[in-house]
Each structure stands twice: as structure tokens, then as C-alpha cells.
Amino acid sequence: MESNFIDCRIEDGIAVLSLDDPSANTLTYHLLQELEQRFQLLECDPDVRGVVITGQGEKFFSGGVNIGMLLTAGKLHNSHFILYAVEVLDYIANSELPVLAAINGNITGGGLELALISDVRVAVEGEYNIGFPEVRLGVIPGMGGTQRLSRLIGPQLALELIAQGRFITPSYANAIGLVDQVLPVDQFKSRAVAVARERFANWEVERRCADKGLTSIINDGVIKDIVSLQIEKGVAKISLLPAASTLPALCALMSINDAILSARSDEDVHTLLLNLNDGSIAVQANEEQPWFIQRYLQLLISRIDTCPRIFSFVCDRVLNDIEIEVAMACDYRFFTGGDLSAIQYISRESPSFYRYAKQLNKLKEAESSIAQLVESGFFKTKPDGKTNDWYMELIKGFTPSTGASQAIGYAKLAVNKGSQLPLEAGLLLERHLQEQLFAAVDSQEGMKAYLEKRSANFKGGYL
């Protein structure tokens, strides 16, 4: 894989990742993308027992999110960036590999949020800045900082640090428990690695089937000609091509992931459609998948789930275990095959389906008829009298000719995410999404159009 921003060295089972983007190692989309891939490579390496994250140079661990990027890029890109950053940080936080943040200098904003997902934090002694200055810029820490800091040092102190936007020293950070240990300047990074080795010695890293073979697939990166991405009239159609069927499942999953990231950050896209009519994610039925495939699949599912767009799925055949997991994460599933009994066969094979069905509270029986499956909303099939393009007509319901409202994506978040939260948190989420929509141009246009008795001309996207 191309290495621009992360220097990686593995020393006796401990991988040292150094953020390297002068002068402040700020977080950009490119850096996070490399961090995510680099971490995936380490997860597949059975020799790696732990990871140290640090900053290149002596001045900065990381100065946080690149403000030049936030000021330059459009709202959509920035929303997408924050969403992506949260996904990458969550991915690392949920890894079985233990992580130590070796704070070698100034660490602010998003840089500190990156350190907060680590299991251990050590800092070099000295006078430099540690803190969340976001309120001075008119925002708050938005990559988990408010939640993780308050859980680490308590809400009282966390609020003090965040609301005042002030910087603290390493020794004070150590005193309040934000940093576990302060180490001398001399040989700091070697000492940090030694701490990691000692702390992680008895750490149980249970990676079933960590597979070096997969590293070559990740290293080679996305294979462009196994997935096509076509964007037309607001619909991003991601189609798996026949060549995908001949390659390992990870190739198809990575290529789908790449297409999703491109499509969901495109301001012209209002809805996404994953099409598995021409190609398949190649796995053998009943074969246990490598541990990492499951981990990567969960990342992809989470990405589909949190995508603030309506996400549809189309197929015309029986799906395998991985494909059905992907299909379940989508908001709508369309079956375009001629043999409807295939739908029933899918359900019999898939434990995911029964979890879903239970959630819907519609199917009480272990076995289900095609009629029940269609009725439950699991699959939509071709209505009588419609052309073969019937599902595209349905999808276009989310992309009217005048543009789709931002509210569609937010409705998805409120319903899907909100229903998984305690009622109080769900209500909070709903209120904040509504506040954002009220502040956005689409709601102004929508209400104005209503009063003027005309169709609204939405700009679409999300905020």
C-alpha cells in the first residue's frame, strides 16, 4: 500500500505507527484512510501483539483535524469527514489489538480524540499543549471526545477542559488521569515501546485465524474492475461485476467499501443502490470465514447503516452468508429474479434474517412462506403490471426531479439509530437532527414552497 502519512515499524511484536504530515500531523481524510488500512494490515499479522501510535518529529503528536481542510471543503465533505473519522476511531477502539498512544508533543482536538481511544497513554515530559480548543473555533470535539473524556476523567473535569478550551501540561494531565505515565525526553519513543511491551505482555489477543495471506490483498488495495460505480440522477449504483466472483471475498468487500465512501461523499448522490445481479462476493456455503473477513464485514455493515442516505440492495438469486449480512444492513431489498422460491431459500439459510424478522415482530415461525417474507418487508418483488425497472422507480421516490430533501437521510438516522438507543437518547438524537434541519437551506425551501403551493427545489445531501 502507498505510504504517505503513516510510518510503520514493527519491533519485536509491537508495531509503531508514526503520524507523518508536516508540520502538525493534522488529521485529513487521506491520513485517516491510511491509518485505517494500516491498522487492518496489523490485525492480519499474527506476529503483532500491540500497537503504539505516536507523531513524527518532536513538536506534535497531532494538532487535530486540519482546519484548512474544514474551511476549504464543502459542508458535505466535512460531514462525511467527521462520519468517516468516527468510523476509523471506532474501528481502532474496537480492535482486539491493544493500543498505546505515545504523546511526543502538542496534542490537541482530534489528535487528543485519537489518543483517547487508546488503551494506554504515555506522554513525554515538557511544556506543551494538551487539550480541546474546539470551543474557541465555535465547535465541540466531534469524534467521540466529549464522551470518552468524560468517561475517563469524569464529567466535571471534562466539561471544565472542553468548555474553557484551555490547554494543560503533561504533568497535570497525568495528575487527573488523562495520561497514565509521563516519561523522560531522553529515548522517549523507545521507552514508550518498552511500556507497551510490558503492559501488553499478558494481553489476550484472540485473533482466530489472523491471516498473513490477507495482508497481500489489503496491501494491493482496491481492485477497480470488480465494482462499477455509476451516478445518475442522484442514484449511485454500485454494481459488483462478474470478475468479483473469481476473487477472494475480501477483494469484493474492499471494493464495495471504496465505492460506498466515494458515493456517500458525492453531493449529487441522494440514494445508493448495491447491485449483486451480475457478480457475487465469493464464499463457499457453510465454510467458516477467516476472522478478519467477519471484522471487515462488520465495518462495511456499520458504514451502510450509518450512511445518511437511503441505501437499497438488489439481487436476483439466492445469497450466501456474507451477502445476506450486507443485504440486511440496507434499508430496502429488491428481488428481481424470476424464481421467487429463492427468497424463501435465503431466509432458511440465514441467522441474520431471523434476527431481523424478530425485530420486525412479524414472523413468529421458524419457517416462513414467500408471502410472509414479502409482507414483512424483507424483500420487495416486482408488482403486477410493472416493467423490469420497477425498483428504480421506487428508488427514485427518494430522488425527486427537484432534488431529495436532506431530511430523508436524517429520518433514516433517527429511526434506525434512535430505535437502538434508550428512549431518552433517541429523543435527544431526534431533537438534534431536527435542529440541524431547521438551520439548513432545505427546510427553509421546503416550508416556503409549501406556503407558495409549489414543489420544493431541494439541494439534497446532508449537512
Partner 1 sequence: MRVRNESVSLIESKYHKEILRWQKRNFPDIDLLEKHWDKYFPNEQKYALCVRTAPLENDLILQGKYKGQRKFAKASSMKGSMLYQALRIIKAQCSTELGSIQQHGTTVDASYSDYAKFSVLRIMAEELRHAYQMFWVLSHDSSWSATGEKRIADNIMDELLQMETGSHVLDAFNIEFTDALDNICFACFVDRIGKFQLSMQEEFAYEPMSMSMKPMLREEAFHLKTGWEVLREICEAAAIGECQWTLDDVQRKINVWFPRALEMFGSEEGGESNLQFSFKSTSNRDAIQEYVREVEWLMGALNAAILKAREPGLSKIEIRAKIKQHSFLGLPSTRFMRIRSGDSLVQSTFDIEGNKLTPEAYESYLLQVLPEKFTGTKFYQDYINKFKVEAGIAA
Work out the angle at residue 290's Cα, subtended by the Cα atoms of residues 285 and 292, and round it to the nearest 5 degrees. Answer: 130
| Phi and psi at residue 121, to the nearest 5° | -125, 125
Shortest distance in whole angstroms from residue 80 CB to partner 1:
8
Task: Tell me which stretch binds partner 1 (CB under 8 A): 63-71, 274-282, 311-319, 352-360.
Answer: 63-71
Nearby residues of 359 by Cβ (< 8 Å), 6 or more positions away:
none
* 68 contributes a contact to partner 1 by CB under 8 A: yes
78, 215, 275, 347: residue in contact with partner 1 (rule CB under 8 A): 78
Shortest distance in whole angstroms from residue 231 CB to partner 1:
13
Whole-number Cα distances in Å, 234 to 268, 273, 282, 410? 5, 11, 29, 17
Closest to 283 in 3D by CA, of 330, 326, 228? 326
308, amino acid identity: P
And the C-alpha cell for 391? 425498483
Task: Tell me which stretch binds partner 1 (CB under 8 A): 67-75, 362-370, 411-419, 443-451.
Answer: 67-75
* 72 contributes a contact to partner 1 by CB under 8 A: yes
Shortest distance in whole angstroms from residue 253 CB to partner 1:
24
The C-alpha atoms of residue 161 and residue 69 are separated, in whole angstroms, by 25
Q: Which is nearer to partner 1, 59 or 380 (CB)?
A: 59
Q: Binding marks (x or -) toward partner 1, 242..281, rule CB under 8 A?
A: -----------------------x-x--------------
15, 16, 31, 183: residue in contact with partner 1 (rule CB under 8 A): 31
18, 26, 37, 146: residue in contact with partner 1 (rule CB under 8 A): 26
Place of cell 439541494: 459
Size of site (CB under 8 A) for partner 1: 22
Shortest distance in whole angstroms from residue 458 CB to partner 1:
18
Beta-strand ranges (E) seen in 253-412 are 271-275, 310-315, 332-335
3, 9, 11, 22: residue in contact with partner 1 (rule CB under 8 A): 22
* 4 contributes a contact to partner 1 by CB under 8 A: yes
The C-alpha atoms of residue 221 and residue 224 are separated, in whole angstroms, by 9
Shortest distance in whole angstroms from residue 341 CB to partner 1:
47
30, 362, 380, 417: residue in contact with partner 1 (rule CB under 8 A): 30
Task: Tell me which stretch binds partner 1 (CB under 8 A): 21-29, 95-103, 135-143, 248-256.
Answer: 21-29
* 74 contributes a contact to partner 1 by CB under 8 A: yes
* 77 contributes a contact to partner 1 by CB under 8 A: yes
Task: Tell me which stretch binds partner 1 (CB under 8 A): 20-28, 88-96, 205-213, 309-317.
Answer: 20-28
Shortest distance in whole angstroms from residue 401 CB to partner 1:
21
Shortest distance in whole angstroms from residue 78 CB to partner 1:
7
Three-class SS state of 58: coil
Q: Which residues pair with 231 in a beta bridge?
A: 236
Span 336-365, contacts to partner 1 by CB under 8 A: none
Q: Which residues pair with 31 in a beta bridge?
A: none
Rg (CA), the chain: 24
Place of cell 441522494: 270
Beta-strand ranges (E) seen in 104-244 are 106-108, 120-124, 130-131, 167-168, 181-183, 227-232, 235-240
Shortest distance in whole angstroms from residue 261 CB to partner 1:
13
Contact 48, 95 (CB under 8 A): no
Work out the angle at residue 208's Cα, subtended by the Cα atoms of residues 206 and 211, and round it to the nearest 5 degrees. Answer: 120
Contact 292, 210 (CB under 8 A): yes
149, amino acid identity: L
| Phi and psi at residue 100, to the nearest 5° | -120, 130
Site of interaction with partner 1 (CB under 8 A) = 4-5, 21-24, 26, 28-31, 66, 68-69, 72-74, 77-78, 81, 265, 267
